[in-house]
């Protein structure tokens, strides 16, 4: 639902679809934090895959016109991840999420 609503609002704002395509996967750059261990990676991943950040950015759209489209792209990404079953990460392992364990059973 979050993905669908975010994309619909983005379309209503007449956002540039090239920008959407360019920024849609940017939150996944947080995977680079795995180079620093599971605790750092969970923190970085959760910061980029929580709805709090994009909602704050969306509210800033009142003052900065470019903030709203970027926030909607970010929300769409979060919604896409949730639709795929990816939840916020626990520092124990990448597969341990608030939605349950992902991937193959050990």
Residue pLDDT tens, the chain, 106 long: 999 999 999 999 999 999 999 999 999 999 899 899 989 999 999 999 999 999 999 999 888 989 999 999 999 999 999 999 888 988 887 778 888 787 776 6
DSSP letter (8 states) at residue 94: E
Query: Following DSSP, what letter does each residue of 22-60 receive, concatenated?
Result: HHTTGGGGGGGGGGG-HHHHHHHHHHHHSSHHHHHHHHH
Residue 7 half-sphere exposure toward CB, CA atoms < 13 A: 12
pTM: 0.89
Q: What strands lie across the sheet with 89-90, from one edge to the other?
A: 89-90, 93-97, 100-101
Distance between CA atoms of residues 29 and 68, nearest Å = 21
């Amino acid at each position: 639902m979050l993905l669908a609503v975010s994309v619909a609002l983005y379309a209503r704002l007449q956002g540039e679809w090239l920008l959407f395509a360019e920024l849609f996967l940017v939150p996944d750059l947080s995977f680079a934090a795995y180079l620093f261990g599971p605790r750092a990676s969970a923190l970085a991943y959760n910061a980029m895959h929580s709805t709090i950040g994009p909602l704050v950015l969306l509210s800033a759209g009142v003052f900065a016109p470019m903030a709203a489209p970027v926030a909607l792209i970010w929300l769409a990404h979060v919604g896409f991840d949730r639709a795929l079953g990816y939840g916020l990460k626990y520092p124990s392992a990448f597969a341990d999420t608030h939605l349950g364990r992902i991937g193959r059973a050990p």
